[in-house]
Every structure is written in C-alpha cells, then in structure tokens.
Chains A and B, each alone.
Chain A
Amino acid sequence: MIELDKVSKVYPDGTEAVKEVSLEVGKGELCVLLGPSGCGKTTTMKMINRLIPITGGKIYIDGVDNTKMDENELRRNIGYAIQQIGLFPNMTVGQNIETVPELKGWPKAERRKRAEELLELVGMDSGEFIDKYPGELSGGQSQRVGVARALGADPPILLMDEPFGAIDPITRIRLQDEFLKIQQEIRKTVIFVTHDIYEAIKLADRVALMKEGQIVQYDTPANLLYRPKNEFVENFVGGDRALKGLQLIRAKEVMTSTPPTVSADEKAIAAKQRMEREGLDSLVVVNHDGKFLGWVNKAHLGRGDKVGEIMSSSGMTATVNTVLNEVLSLMLSQGLENLAIVTEDNKLQGMISFDTIRKALAEATQRRQAE
C-alpha cells in the first residue's frame, strides 16, 4: 500500500510543483495520476521512488517512511517504466529484463528463466527476442520489453510514467488491453501517470485528477465522468462524456451471446430463407469448429451456391474485454454494421451491433441520472 501524506515539492527557486498532496493507493489497486502537463503528476510519482527528493510531507510504503529506506533498495523493489522506455542499447533484451534481478543477486539461471517468463507474459516469443538488442525492436516491442523489465524482480509496486505514450494509437490500445489482462493476473499496486483521459478511464481503479500541483478529484472513473466535483473536472472530462462512458463498458457486458450463425458449407438459398423467416439483415458465418469466418447479408444472396462462396470475410473482430468505444471505433472505421466478438483462437463468442451500443449508452445514462 502507498500512502502520500501532505506531500509537497518546492524547488529552490520557489516553484511549487506539488502542494500538499494526500493520496492512498490500496494494495493491488491501479491509480492513475491524470492531468495537463505541468500539473505535478510526474513529480508526485517520482517522489515515491525518490528520483525527486521530497520537500514536505511523508510517503509511506506499507507503512514505512520511504526516506528511511536505502534509496537503491527502495527502487529495486518498485518497478519503473517510462515513456522514453530507456532500454539499455548495449545489453540484450534478456539482460535488460534481468537488470534488477541481477542487482538483487539472483543466480544466473533463475534470472534467465524469469526473463523468459516475462517476455511470454508481455506477449513476446522469448526464444526469438531474448538475445536481440533493443536496436532491433519496433516501438511497440520496446514498450513491451520496458514493462517486462519493470516487472523484473516481481516488485509489489509499479510506477509507470506514460508507458504507452510514444506509440501509434492501434498498438497503444493493444498494449493497454494486454496490460489490463496482465494486471488482473499479477495484481500489482500501480501508479500510472498519463494526460490521456481515455487511457485513465480505461485502466484506472481510481483516478487522481491533478491541477497546478494539487489533486482536484480522487475518484473512480465513473464518478469522475458522471459526478465531476467542479468545473475544472467537467471541462477536463470534456463534453463528450457519454462517449467516454463507453470506456467503462466491456463487450461481454452487452454483446448478444447467441448471434444468428450459419455454416459456410450451407446452401445460400437456405441462408436466404432463414433471414426472411426470422427478419434478419445478416448472419454470422462460422466453420465447423465454431470459428468466425465472416458475414453474409441480403445483398450477397443469389450470387453463388454455398454461403462460404458469397460471404464477405472480415478480419475485424474484438474480444469480450474490448471496451465499447473501441468496438464502436472499429465498426465506424471499417464500415461494419456488426462486429464479431471472438476468443483468442477466433472462436465466435457473440456479436455487437450499432443497436447494442445505442441501448447500452441509453441505459448507462439513465442509470447515472437515477443515482
């Protein structure tokens, strides 16, 4: 557990970067420090591992004042990932990940095993990457290694300073999803700094919105969206609150779990009859294992014999954990009426249509208003 008690940072020239910030982050919680640049969020984070010396107040880690601990020992027990990643270019990916275990004196074989596990955890093939150098990695791969390195010695606490900041939006969304999945498994106490409200809402258990060195509101993402404490919060959240609220809903909560399917081997005429009979515009095409293949709609019919020949195969899918605004964005960008929800090995689990999203949005808004 991390506790900040009236923490301040005043620089010698009199600048007050952080003013009496108090904050409690429970064990296993993911706390996002959110705010415009210059609001003191990074400074606050860096005082936790003492990269920036504190000038007022106290920071307790599991009840112990962090200034009473050995500085390096403290840092070795707190994972640290930054936007610029800062991988050591003279060391291999494996050596990078083994940095803290090595500092802690783990035996070599154990370190190596840990590096392999962590690479797999962040979705990289350890055999392929462990002996590569950072110079050979793409931006997304480097970020993954950065996260793996932060987890090196299995620290109970993670500090992350915009770790997914410098990558393209698609990779960023994927890394966020993966990180959430990892976090559900490993349950670290995480302090995550970002200026991106979408990222904050998506990842946080609680968000501390900061302004000019102070916390304006420390709350759950839903409360930040629907119960802003003052005008600053309202403005920071922005007018499209309803859309941002979609970040709070995952596909599994609203999807149609038994979508109308048709096998690719079936006759097109049978599909047509079924659509007419049940009043459907389209059917999901699956193979004999229940794996998603594509869509067939009325416009396709009459062009061929089998469903498999006439369907439009679309690679675009989402998983049960995809948040609704990403589902919507995928549908809009691909011009799809429906999006298939599939498992990791592409098995159909459900589907989401525009109508599903509209209903979910209406319900959420109603619920918030009722509260």
Chain B
Amino acid sequence: MRRYVVLISILALLLGLTIWITNLEWIKEGVYRPFTRGDILNSTISHLEMVLIAELIAISIGIPLGILVTRPGFRRLATPVVGGANVGQTIPSLAIIAIMAPILGFGLESAVVALFIYGLLPIVRNSYAGINNIDPAIVEAAKGMGMTRGQIARKIELPLALPVIMTGIRISTVITVGTAELAVLVGGKGLGTITLNGVLTLQPLTILQGAAPTAALAITLGFILERIESWMTSQGLKIKAEIA
C-alpha cells in the first residue's frame, strides 16, 4: 500500500512539474519558445513507439535465444551468448547508439535497432538464468515420472522461470525508456528531442520538460510490467518467496 502512495506521489510530482513549466507565462514571453502540451504528448507517443517496437523485437528474439542455450545440444553456446550479453551490457548506451548511425544511417531504424540490441541483453540473460537455475531435482522428478521434454518445458520449466524472465523484460524496458532519450542523436524522435533542445539552448526548464515525462514513462511501464509479472506467476511460487 505504502509503495503505491510513493509511486503515485512521484508520478504526480513529475507530471505536475511538466505541466507547470508548460504553463509558465514568463517563459512564453522569453526568447526561447517553451514546448507546448501538444509537443510533449507527441514526443511521448513517439518515444513509447520506439520503446515498444524495440522491446517487442528484443522479447521475441531474446526469450527463445536465452532458453535455447539451456537445451542439451546448445548448452555449449551458453557461455558465449550469456557472456556476450554481459559484456554488451557494459558498453555505454551512447556508444551503441552512436555506432548505429554510420552503419544504418540517420533515422528511426538506426534508433530502434540500437535500442533493440541494448534491450536484448537483460532478456537473454534472465531467460537463461530463469531456466538454468531451476532445481535439477525438480526436472529429474518430472523426467522420472514420464513427462516428455515438451511437457517438462511447458508445465514445469516455463512456469518456474517466468518470474525471472518477466523481471528481465521489466529491466530491459525501463532501461530502454532511458536509452531512447539518446535516439535523437541518430535521427530518432521521442522526448530526447525536447531534452536535447533544452541542453543546446541552455534552458534547464526545457530539459525538465523532456526529462520529467521520460522518468514518468519509465516508472509507469515498470509498474505495469510488475503487475503483469505478479498476475502471471503461480500462487505457489509467491508463497515460497514469502517464506524464503
């Protein structure tokens, strides 16, 4: 309950701040034109669009890839794949975005591809860890009782790994919302355009007009995904978590 209060307070603060700046009369009369509510709304939508497209691709590639390297026969790929994901994560997001421009040129595609690559890593890593960390005794029991490999995956491994995989998606999404701020550098759109404008014109309030909605977006998406995770997780696993 307390968490909800904190969450809603922070959201209200961020949105209030954005609206307050947008309505400031003295800024409107100044040299620099503040962004209007319409500008911010459009930027938020295009920001969300980039994030969602990149995440959808990252999820649809990352989960199968992470699970694949836990399968016998592909297990020897686990070290390069997961190790690669870990190393990839240490590269600054700015570097990945910057690399994309010379490769794919300026535009939305470059931005989305960069976001997808960066967002892929936590999903691959958590999908792998989620399956790999299941108590081997559980899988052995399932096998010993005559479950086929598919049945074990469907009824045991996926449900048990689900919370970890969902956490990977949540982390990835929240990171991507932040990284998408930089998409403007390679010709992407989104709230980064507002923030960058503020930086170039040395207008702190304009920077906030881009930064505050970004933070609000990250918090909101994180919260929604957390609720989905909780809703999808078996009751039995929640009980175990409470006891442990």
Contact = CB atoms under 8 A, between A and B. Distances in A.
Interface of B (DSSP majority class): helix
B160 A89 contact: yes
A74 B146 CA distance: 7
Interface string A91-126: 110000001100100000000000000000000000
B236 A51 contact: no
B140 A82 contact: yes
Interface residues of A, number: 30
A88 interface: yes
Interface residues of B, number: 26
B147 interface: yes
A190 B33 CA distance: 84
A86 B140 contact: yes
B145 A51 contact: no
A86 B144 CA distance: 11
A192 interface: no
Given A135-B240, A136-B239, A90 B159 contact: yes
A216 B223 CA distance: 63
A82 B155 CA distance: 20
A73 interface: yes
B51 to A, nearest CB: 31
Given A84-B135, A84-B137, A88-B138, A133 B235 contact: yes
Contacts of B144: 49, 51, 75, 80, 82, 159
Contacts of A74: 146
B229 to A, nearest CB: 14
Contacts of A80: 141, 144-145
B156 A103 contact: no
A55 interface: no
B236 A86 contact: no
Contact of A86 (B137, B235, B242): B137
B237 interface: yes
B236 A89 contact: yes
Given A90-B160, A159-B144, 14 more contacts: A71-B146, A80-B144, A84-B135, A86-B137, A86-B140, A87-B138, A88-B138, A89-B236, A91-B236, A103-B145, A133-B240, A134-B236, A135-B236, A135-B242
Interface of A: 49, 51, 71-77, 80, 82, 84-92, 99-100, 103, 133-136, 149, 152, 159
The 9 closest A-B pairs by CB, nearest first: A86-B141, A133-B236, A84-B137, A75-B146, A135-B240, A76-B146, A80-B144, A90-B234, A86-B137
28 contacts: A49-B144, A51-B144, A71-B146, A72-B147, A73-B146, A75-B144, A82-B141, A84-B135, A86-B142, A88-B138, A88-B155, A89-B138, A89-B160, A89-B234, A89-B237, A89-B240, A90-B156, A91-B236, A99-B145, A99-B147, A100-B145, A103-B151, A133-B236, A133-B239, A135-B236, A136-B243, A149-B145, A152-B145
